[in-house]
Amino acid sequence: MADTKQTKTIGEHYAAAELARRGWAPALTRDGLERTDILAVMAEGAGRRLVEIQVKTARGEKAERVSWPLGNKSQAPSAHEREYFVLVAVPLDHSVRPRSFVVPRIHVAAAAWIAHMNWLTDPGAAIGKRNAPVDRSRVGVDTFIRYEDRWDLLELDQADAPVLLPPIYREYALSPRVGLREDHEWQRGMPEW
């Protein structure tokens, strides 16, 4: 079994290196700063944009099969427009490089709720077999595939970022069976995607 602290370290340093390659000046925060593992400033150009990034890392035999735990804290509303997640999938095979998915916080919050509630309320599931609470939500690579290596999204405020979740998620979000968490920003208006 993989050491979870080591897995966290791999993801944070991988994300920081990728940010630096793209002209950002990343600073790893100390443990205990809630919701922010990396503060990054765009060091190139005149903008000096500052973003907060939470890194979630998961390891697996194959990167395309990993899923990240995205519980209540991951589903909480954004504090501001420049909050993002970098989801890192680390394959156990050291010859294969990690994969990264850059996702605005409000998109992660929606995906975590939608994926879990769709699973929990699936009409085809056997009665009584699915009862895990939403704080146990796990979301896989397939949900975030269109966010892979989308470091350019960090240059946009969350409200301006295109929603790249699977199109069916919009239908689920609008359905009474699944919906969105009551305090989610999209309750005030669902974006197109």
What pLDDT shows up at residue 69?
Answer: 94
Percent of the chain residues topping a pLDDT of 90:
77
Confidence of residue 45 (pLDDT cuts 50, 70, 90): confident
**137-144 average pLDDT score:** 96
Span 67-78, pLDDT tens digits: 999 999 999 999
What pLDDT shows up at residue 54?
Answer: 97
What pLDDT shows up at residue 2?
Answer: 58
Residue 30 has pLDDT above 90, yes or no: no
pTM greater than 0.85 (yes/no)? yes
23-26 contact pairs (CB < 8 A, 24+): 24/51, 24/154, 26/53
**97-113 average pLDDT score:** 97
What pLDDT shows up at residue 32?
Answer: 65
Residue 1 has pLDDT above 80, yes or no: no
**20-42 average pLDDT score:** 92
DSSP 96-160: S--EEEEEEHHHHHHHHHHHHHHHHT-TTSPTTS----GGG-EEEHHHHGGGBT-GGGGGS-GGG
Do 1 and 133 touch, CB atoms closer than 8 A?
no
